[in-house]
Amino acid sequence: MTSPPIAVESLCKHFGNVQAVDDVSFSVKKGEILGLLGPNGAGKTTIIHMLLGLVLPTSGSARLFGEEVAFARQKLLGRVNFSSAYVALPSNLTVRENLLVFARMYSVRRPERRIDELLERFEIGQLAHRVSGSLSSGQQARLSLCKSLLNEPEILFLDEPTSGLDPDIADKVRRTLREIQRERGLAMIYTSHNMPEVELMCDRIIFLSRGTIVMEGTTSELLERAQQASLEEVFIKVARDGQIRDVASEPSPSGDQA
């Protein structure tokens, strides 16, 4: 029996008296994209950062490939990667220089070829020699995505990766990510405040509110359970009164793992 790429059990994080994450459990299979949804401050980023060892859990366990992140951080980080529209690469290096630096950090062999390929895929090849600081936010977001794929990760954490992209580019980026994900059987955790995007990208969705899971399932399961026509409406309902909680606490067919 092999361990799932991501497994979270009874995970809690308190910041002083703020319960950022409160008893959360889930797992992600190889080749699966899990969407983490929820209002601002629901705990999405905190969960991702605990899975990356940037934040230490108050209690519970966060495992990658069956190993506790807090104890095997360095070893695990080479097999995963992360991108967010809210972190940036050094603005005074060019796109290519930045990627060369990170290729070293991830011990990538033959980095030039890999970099060209990724720049091509995200359509920023013509920007390779531009200083990163001079790129538009959408171009920077694509650079950050290139960085996140340098080491051919087995797990990708994307925290609002398309925030700031125009609809055309956002669509292309989603397609590219989907392609790469299928080619490699990548496991992904994806957060976004764009509901149509989440519907397109995610195989399964977890709704968080104030640090706890209030609903879990595929898009169609969620729509049915919340009796809403779109994910957007489900989101608003959860955000405003969290009343879905009662319905969701029934055992769900796909949500529970063995």
Partner 1 sequence: MNTYDRWLRISAVIYRYLYLYRRSVTRAGEIVFWPVMDLLVWGFLTLYLRELSVSNAILFLIGSLIFWDFLYRSQQATTVAFIEEMWSKNLLNIFLSPISVWEYILGTCLLGLMKSLFTAVLLAALAWFCYAFNILAVGPMLIPFVLSLLLFGWALAMFTMALMLRFGQAAEALVWGIPFLVQPFSAVFYPVDVLPVGLRVIAYLLPSTYVFEGMRAILINGETSWSLLLIAFALNAVYLAAGAAFFAWMFRLVREKGYLSRLGME
Task: List contacts with partner 1 (CB under 8 A).
Answer: 13, 15, 20, 45-46, 49, 52-56, 74-75, 77-78, 81-82, 86-94, 97, 100-102, 104-107, 147
Q: Which of 27, 45, 139, 219 binds Mg ion (CB under 5 A)?
A: 45
Q: Is the dihedral of CA 219, 221, 224, 226 positive or negative?
A: negative
From the list ligand ATP, Mg ion, partner 1, none, partner contacted by residue 43 (C-beta under 5 to 8 A by kind): ligand ATP
From the list partner 1, ligand ATP, Mg ion, none, partner contacted by residue 126 (C-beta under 5 to 8 A by kind): none
Give 88 or 236: the residue with its C-beta nearer to partner 1. 88
Give 15 or 71: the residue with its C-beta nearer to Mg ion. 15
Give 38 or 255: the residue with its C-beta nearer to ligand ATP. 38
* Residues binding ligand ATP: number (CB under 6 A): 11
Give 180 or 234: the residue with its C-beta nearer to ligand ATP. 234
- Using alpha carbons, select from 198, 79, 101, 98 the residue that is nearest to residue 142: 98
What is the DSSP-derived secondary structure letter of residue 254? T
CA distance 79 to 6: 12
From start to end of 38-117, where are the E strands? 59-64, 67-68, 80-84
DSSP 167-188: HHHHHHHHHHHHHHHHHHT-EE
The H or E element containing residue 26 is strand 18-28
- Residues of this chain, 9-48, that bind ligand ATP according to CB under 6 A: 15, 18, 20, 38, 40-46
What is the DSSP-derived secondary structure letter of residue 127? G
From the list ligand ATP, Mg ion, partner 1, none, partner contacted by residue 174 (C-beta under 5 to 8 A by kind): none
The H or E element containing residue 157 is strand 155-159
Query: Can you give the binding site for ligand ATP, defined by CB under 6 A?
Result: 15, 18, 20, 38, 40-46
